[in-house]
Amino acid sequence: MERNGLENRNRERKVGYWVGGVSAFFVISFFLVPYYLPTDSVPELSGRANSIDYFSESSWGNVQTEERAGMGHNQSEHGLFSWSDLDPYAAFIYGFGDLNCHNKAERSWEINGNQMPVCVRDVGIFLGLAIGGFIFSRRGLNRWTLRDSFLSLFPDRMMDGIYRKNRRTIVLLAIAAIAVMPMALDGFTQMLTSYESTATMRLITGTPFGIFIGAFLASSLSARPAFFNREPSQVMLPSGSRFSLKVEDEQE
């Protein structure tokens, strides 16, 4: 019998492996693709987040001919880039980075003379996603709700007082704030002041956020009441707590 009252946690293990494995695939690819591409074949880029900027030579990123505050630079000074001309694997990874990341050269690492598909912050986020998924694969439990499934990552003895006082939501929000705050402070300080974050700082602040998102995603995919036959009292929680369905009194 597992800590959640079920006979096994096979689903939680699989979900954690999927979240961690897919994220690890991207992290490895971010380094591998620029490494095996011909040297100096990916120039310095500067695009927009959530936009396709370098699909072809006629795309937005390649037709910029002047420096723009906040996004875009004179791409003709650095060389044109079209990820659709790459092999399928490299095209997928650079296309993924093009869509999801701003691709600013000054905030990205370079490997083999090639700019990486995503910025350093995103490398940290995906690294964290992989860590969060693998942590859930080892410790996560289906405990009916998303909130309680996420909190199952912590030892029950640590959660006893929290469950007795029913402060689960507060604790979950506090954990989320702790994970987000370093990245938010670093990002907003850059936006509002002359401060420019370092690559190391971007990696350090992006990773905790990714860990939280990875664990939260795995928890959301694992929390399934159906495994308890829709009977909440079967769920084992810290401090001997039990779920119960609210029954409304019928009034004649």
pLDDT in tens, 87-133: 999 999 999 999 999 999 999 999 999 999 999 999 999 999 999 99
Residue 196 confidence (pLDDT): 86
Residue 172 confidence (pLDDT): 97
**Per the domain annotation, does 244 fall within a domain?**
no
**Per the domain annotation, does 239 fall within a domain?**
no
- pLDDT mean across residues, the chain: 93
114: β partners: 111
**Per the domain annotation, does 48 fall within a domain?**
yes
Q: Is the distance from CB of 89 to CB of 70 less than 8 angstroms?
A: no
**Per the domain annotation, does 3 fall within a domain?**
no
115: β partners: 110
3-state secondary structure of 110: strand
Q: Taking 70 as the threshold, does the pLDDT of residue 251 lie above it?
A: no
Residue 69 confidence (pLDDT): 65
**Per the domain annotation, does 58 fall within a domain?**
yes
Query: Measured between alpha carbons, how far is residue 57 from residues 31, 52, 82, 171, 206 in Å?
Result: 24, 12, 6, 49, 31
pTM over 0.85: yes
**Per the domain annotation, does 166 fall within a domain?**
yes
**Dist. CA 79–CA 41, nearest whole Å:** 9
**Dist. CA 188–CA 17, nearest whole Å:** 33
Number of domains in the chain: 1
Structure-model confidence comparison of residues 64 and 17, the more confident one: 17
**Per the domain annotation, does 1 fall within a domain?**
no
Structural domain harbouring 151: 10-226
pLDDT band at 247 (very low <50, low <70, confident <90, very high): low
The amino acid sitting at 217 is L
**Per the domain annotation, does 2 fall within a domain?**
no
